[in-house]
Amino acid sequence: MTLTVSTQPEKTKAGENTLRLKVIDKSGKPVTDAQVSVQYTMTMPGMALSKAEAKHSKDGIYETKANFGMAGEWEVTVIVRLPGQKEIQEKFKLTAQQ
């Protein structure tokens, strides 16, 4: 399974962004029946962990809003669950611009 992350706007900004999580299986087909959630925080002391569930929009793309409260580097953990399969967790770094 391959997981890719992008944001809307394309240049991640401080404040509200839409996270787009694309899930593709081994044969390159979009995975449309996964349960996808995200957790995000900054790698600095005292920052809380935020959580959100993503909803499938189309073609294996899952979307959720993420509110990056300040500019800087955010660590986003994406959790993908599929029935009868081991949960997959992958970490991504996104830099939010002012």
In angstroms, the CA 3 to CA 38 distance is 12
- Report the residue number, 9 or 44, with the smaller CB distance to Cu ion: 44
Q: Taking CB under 5 A as the rule, which mask of x and - marks residues 59-88 in contact with Cu ion?
A: -----------x------------------
Specify the amino acid at residue 54. Answer: A
In angstroms, the CA 66 to CA 58 distance is 19
Q: Which two tokens stand for residue 54?
A: 């993503």
- Report the residue number, 42 or 52, with the smaller CB distance to Cu ion: 42
Residues engaged in binding Cu ion (CB under 5 A): 42, 44, 47, 70
